[in-house]
Amino acid sequence: MTKHVFLADPACHQRHLIHTRERDWAETNCYVDVLIELLHGWGFEPLAALPFTLAIDFEGDQWTFFKFPHADLRELYGLDIQELAVWRPLVAHIEEQVGLGRPCLVELDSYYLPDTEGTAYQREHVKSTVAIIDIDVAAQRVGYYHGQGFYHLSGDDFSKVFRLTGPNGPEMLPPYFEFVKRRANGALTGKDLVDKSLALLTRQLEALPEANPFQKFKLRIAADLDWLSHAPIEVFHQYSFATLRQFGACYELAATYLQWLQAHDITGLEHSTAAFSKLSTSAKSMQFQLARAMVRKKPLDLSTVDEMAAVWTAAMDHLKLRML
């Protein structure tokens, strides 16, 4: 018997506008993308929860791996995300939580996720967070949000992704697992939703990095260029994901968030919106430049990072002047 949180069909799933617009970064990171689609499929507007995209920082060897703060989801939508201790077979936990009306956010191996065909599916073992909202253990079928869409997997993929067959000893550590509880009448709508989102925006502006993160990033990438030029292209992809893609995708979401506020009659945000869009496109361009520099063993012009530092300062100063 199928247990589900709400009904969804891969053939009828309509992606959120974030995943349908022509964007610099089609994907952000697995946790943010999956929650965007889960919230959207559940009937919430994820754009209201994007203030967190403003306060990311350069963390020494990477930019902040940005995520929806759980407290923000609770205040906006009445959703309570809690970690689950995995002490039974994974399928048993998922069946129970989904049966209680709770989506399950769990790290699975993309090697067995058919929606990653052409990348990781049957090619590479890569962990990725999915949001499971329906499961039929007897039929060995599960419905899950992942990346930009909603999908089903079944049969051999089901058996292997949940470790029902093959080795499963103590060396196979359990995945990170969260479940989402929904409070009755906890979701805000209309003006209340916008007002609460603005309050979260103010909170983020008060938590901005104390130092310009791009100035710190420039020092680090300048030091990294020598060894990067001798590294294989696979290292470029890892480095780029942790740096350029993280802040580029995050600031593109920040621009989208400010556009959402403007659509709700919050004025005076045009300058910052354009600035965040520029940071996104600059990160995209620099990603290509870094790849070429590594392949050709050529130096990389870092003046772009100085320009991004100035754009960041102007955007944040303008936002603080407007909102605080």
User: Are 213 and 269 in a shared domain?
Assistant: yes
Structurally, the chain folds into a number of domains equal to: 2
User: Are 15 and 115 in a shared domain?
Assistant: yes
Q: What is the 3-state secondary structure (H, E, C) of the chain?
A: CCEECCCCCCCCCCCCHHHCCCCCCCCCCHHHHHHHHHHHHHCCCHHHHCHHHHCCCECCCCECCCCCCHHHHHHHHCEEEEECCCCCCHHHHHHHHHHCCCCEEEEEEHHHCHHHCCCCCCCCCCEEEEEEEEEECCCCEEEEEECCEEEEEEHHHHHHHCCCCCCCCCCCCCCCEEEEEECCCCCCCHHHHHHHHHHHHHHHHCCCCCCCHHHHHHHHHHHHHHHHCCCCHHHHHHHHHHHHHHHHHHHHHHHHHHHHHHHCCCCCCHHHHHHHHHHHHHHHHHHHHHHHHHHHCCCCCCHHHHHHHHHHHHHHHHHHHHHC
Q: What is the mean pLDDT of each run of 10 residues along the chain (324 residues)?
A: 94 92 90 97 97 98 97 98 96 98 97 95 95 97 96 96 78 90 94 98 97 97 92 92 97 98 98 98 96 88 97 98 95
User: Are 128 and 208 in a shared domain?
Assistant: no
131-142 pLDDT per residue, tens: 999 999 999 999
Average pLDDT, the chain: 95
Supply the pLDDT for residue 31: 95
Supply the pLDDT for residue 80: 98
User: Are 173 and 221 in a shared domain?
Assistant: no
Supply the pLDDT for residue 297: 84
CATH number of the domain that residue 164 is part of: 3.90.70
User: Are 118 and 205 in a shared domain?
Assistant: no
Q: Does residue 15 form part of some domain?
A: yes
0.85 exceeded by the pTM?
Answer: yes
User: Are 132 and 266 in a shared domain?
Assistant: no
Which residues constitute the domain of residue 158? 3-43+79-182
Q: Does residue 73 form part of some domain?
A: no
Q: Does residue 133 form part of some domain?
A: yes
Supply the pLDDT for residue 169: 63
